[in-house]
Amino acid sequence: MDEAQFNTIVKNSCICGFKISDRSGAGFAGKTIKSPFDGFGIIKIEDDLKNLYWESKFNNKLEAINLKRIEPHQYEYLTSFNVTSSSFSAFILGMHVARGDLRAYIFDWKCIKPLYEKQYSIKAKQLLDFPYNSVSKGIFTFDNIITSVEEI
């Protein structure tokens, strides 16, 4: 599995989702266009419908994730789109931990943003303690959202 395939899983997990193609940055008339983030959609958090804007990364094994993998323009867009009560910007980490153990760690952008600014790396040991959403049959729920990350 790779990041593009994981983004398809994120899209399919939304009530209605759209994955921005990696080819959107290929350019037109010699100019390149940067995708603002990986996708957007509508999700249900508890009893509320939210507009989701997400950036995701994928690890093929349990290992640390350096937040520097999020590009500066993605940081700007996730921050800009996370301004209304109906908006939810998220960093979603897909991780293949073991055979049959595919996880989606959903981080509320509000808790990741300060760590990104410090160029923090979330340790593998920390990930083991975080709640996650299991991927089953190509989808996951948005039941477990990480809203606080302690630096170690």
Instruction: State both tokens at 135.
Output: 């991927």
CATH number of 3-25+34-146: 3.40.1350.10
The Cα 119–Cα 36 span in angstroms is 20
The residue extents of the domains of the chain are 3-25+34-146
pLDDT grade, residue 101 (50/70/90)? very high
pLDDT tens digit string along 12-56?
Answer: 999 999 999 866 555 555 556 688 999 999 999 989 999 999 999
- pTM over 0.75, yes/no: yes
Closest-CA residue to 33 (of 41, 45, 44, 25)? 25
Q: In the chain, what percentage of residues exceed pLDDT 90?
A: 84
